[in-house]
Structure 1
Amino acid sequence: MWASFDTPPAKSFHVDFLTETIYEPRDAFVYAASLNQVEVVRRWIEKKLNLNDLDKDGSHALYMAAQNESLEVLGLLLESGADVDQQQGDGKTALHAACTWGRLEAARLLVTHQASIRSRDNDGQASLHCACRNGHVDLVQLLLDSGVDPFVADDFGATPIDVARDWQRLDILDMLA
């Protein structure tokens, strides 16, 4: 029987699966980070794998851990020296991922570790643009409390206020006004 799209991926498996695979080490490392596989990630760190390497898809471990709110791995990566502001090929950081996917605890952890709230992707969008577009009120508040500029424009001239208006995020518009 086929797994449905509602079935979450397996969250635990034998540690050796991702430490002794046919995958490139950096690809297995990023994949393990996305699944919150703490022991697998720890093994890769012990093997001195570059924590900031991009996988074949242009993603990095910190970004994927933030996107999936793999908090244990996120903390381990940050404590082990991963670059909190590492950008993917599209310029997005782990904070962009947390703000896009509504991962409040991941965003809090990143901000606590001094993630730049001003970092911009290749289109000039900051994390606040992502939170506004996706209607994440709690993340907008976190960023505002952290001192983010709500009037920063992306490369097309759109501010977070414009994004909130365009996506009809009225609660966020009230916060930004």
Structure 2
Amino acid sequence: MEPSGRAKGKFESEENRTDSVIDSGIDSFRSLPRDEPRLSGAAGSSAPGEQDKLSGGDERLDSAYGSSSIVDNLSEIIPDKCSISGTLSSQNTEENTEDEEEEEENLLTTVTEDGDTIVHLVIIHEYKAAAYDLISILPKEVLDIQNNLYQTPMHLAVYLNQPDVVKLLKENGACLELQDQDGNTPLHVACEHGRLECANEMILDSSPTKLVQVFETQNWRGLTCLHVATLHKQHRLMKLLMKKGVDLNIQEGTSGKTALHIAVELHDNEAVALLLIKGANVDAAMLNGCTALHLAVGRQDATITTRLCQAGADKMIRNMEDETALDLADGNDDILALFPFDDIQIMGRTVGVNF
């Protein structure tokens, strides 16, 4: 499936888009205000274990992560003397020439060979003050530009756990629905990596209509945000989505699993309990007809089987293979003993079962 919705509005052609800054007479600009970059695991940056991903290699998650040319030559992309202010003016407005204004505009609209805008870059390298200034003055169309991996600045701010930047992006109209090369929205990223504060900033004060659209968006694996949060055992994220009215019974797009099916497959008793308490349909069926009880019995998970039975799971539902959950017990006495009944019906006839 091809990624959709790549933002438009890149202001320069492919041939010369990286040249406008380098050749623009950068000596006429002031220095960028910046916080100290934290690229070596300082507190508040990426979570433990993710620094390796930021350092490059085949698993890098962003076009600029691990790019030594970006890190080493950041001064060429963000000049040492660059003016970023609410009025896009130099310290001495009277001395700011028309050429300088044009050069400054070029800086703000330039993209790198990886498709990153200056907004992407200041977020990646945690130039917080510059990020605040840029987000406050640039139009929504620029804030929604996607790089070569279809990531918006919002995607990067969430991945790098910058809730304050996420908040500012949202307040200035950044889109929550745009999808990266894997089909993930920024909220998908938050649900995968446990970015609770970022997710809260995206969801906070959003209209119910907008939230439904975000909650129903599937990535290229067919997973919604609730499926992703369940898959990665992000229970706090699951609770946040539930609080905002996410559909607990929404099915993923490949096999029709609900979050309850996924939780059962993972033997995640806590997630199963949470979903059932909040009202998930215990008898929801996948495309192959299997309910959560089929999966629990098939995996010989006595704890979850018991919980599903206590929640009223129908033991006689048949899947596409014409099997009930009892059939899948396959003579396992421990599992069979969990079924709280003394007889069953087969084709309308009562058959006694001795446990």
TM range (shorter): 0.7 to 0.9
Per the alignment, do residues 77 and 97 of structure 1 end up closer, same or farther by CA in structure 2, a change over 3 Å counting?
same
Q: 1:57 aligns with which of 196, 214, 221?
A: 221
Q: Secondary structure at the match of 1:118?
A: coil
Counterpart of 1:140 in structure 2 is: 305
Counterpart of 2:192 in structure 1 is: 34
Q: Tell me, yes or no, if the aligned pair for 1:69 and 1:106 is still in contact at 8 Å.
A: yes
Q: Tell me, yes or no, if the aligned pair for 2:265 and 2:295 is still in contact at 8 Å.
A: yes
Counterpart of 2:140 in structure 1 is: none
Per the alignment, do residues 159 and 70 of structure 1 end up closer, same or farther by CA in structure 2, a change over 3 Å counting?
same
The number of residue pairs the alignment matches comes to 167
Shift of 1:59: 0.6
Q: Runs of at least 4 residues of structure 1 off by over 4 A?
A: 19-22
CA-to-aligned-CA distance 1:106-149 (integer Å, 9 cap, x gap): 11111111100110000000011111112221111111001111
Q: 2:295 aligns with which of 103, 111, 130?
A: 130
Shift of 1:37: 2.0
Counterpart of 1:66 in structure 2 is: 230
Q: Give, as a single letter, the amino acid of the residue that structure 2 aligns with 1:73.
A: L
Counterpart of 1:4 in structure 2 is: none
Identity %: 24
Structure-to-structure mapping, 1:13-162, within 5 angstroms? 14-16=160-162, 23=180, 26-46=184-204, 48-49=210-211, 50-89=214-253, 90-162=255-327
Segment of structure 1 superposing worse, 119-128 or 56-65: 56-65
Q: Which stretches in structure 1 are left out of the alignment for 5+ residues? A: 1-7
| Aligned-residue CA RMSD (Å) | 2.8
Q: Give, as a single letter, the amino acid of the residue that structure 2 aligns with 1:23.
A: D
Q: Tell me, yes or no, if the aligned pair for 1:132 and 1:169 is still in contact at 8 Å.
A: no
Question: Which whole-Å CA distance do the structure 2 matches of 1:58 and 1:158 have between them?
Answer: 26
Question: Which whole-Å CA distance do the structure 2 matches of 1:103 and 1:77 have between them?
Answer: 18
Q: Tell me, yes or no, if the aligned pair for 1:15 and 1:40 is still in contact at 8 Å.
A: yes
Q: Tell me, yes or no, if the aligned pair for 1:27 and 1:56 is still in contact at 8 Å.
A: no
Q: Which stretches in structure 2 are left out of the alignment for 5+ residues? A: 1-47, 51-157, 170-177, 340-354
User: Larger radius of gyration, structure 1 or 2?
Assistant: 2
Higher helix share: 1
Question: Which whole-Å CA distance do the structure 2 matches of 1:108 and 1:57 have between them?
Answer: 25
Question: Which whole-Å CA distance do the structure 1 matches of 2:160 and 2:230 have between them?
Answer: 23
Q: Secondary structure at the match of 1:43?
A: helix
Question: Which whole-Å CA distance do the structure 2 matches of 1:76 and 1:156 have between them?
Answer: 37
Q: Tell me, yes or no, if the aligned pair for 1:51 and 1:81 is still in contact at 8 Å.
A: no
Per the alignment, do residues 22 and 161 of structure 1 end up closer, same or farther by CA in structure 2, a change over 3 Å counting?
closer
Question: Which whole-Å CA distance do the structure 1 matches of 2:179 and 2:250 have between them?
Answer: 26
Aligned: 1:172 with 2:335? yes
Q: Tell me, yes or no, if the aligned pair for 2:159 and 2:193 is still in contact at 8 Å.
A: no
Per the alignment, do residues 39 and 137 of structure 1 end up closer, same or farther by CA in structure 2, a change over 3 Å counting?
same
Q: Secondary structure at the match of 1:158?
A: coil
Structure-2-length-normalised TM-score = 0.43
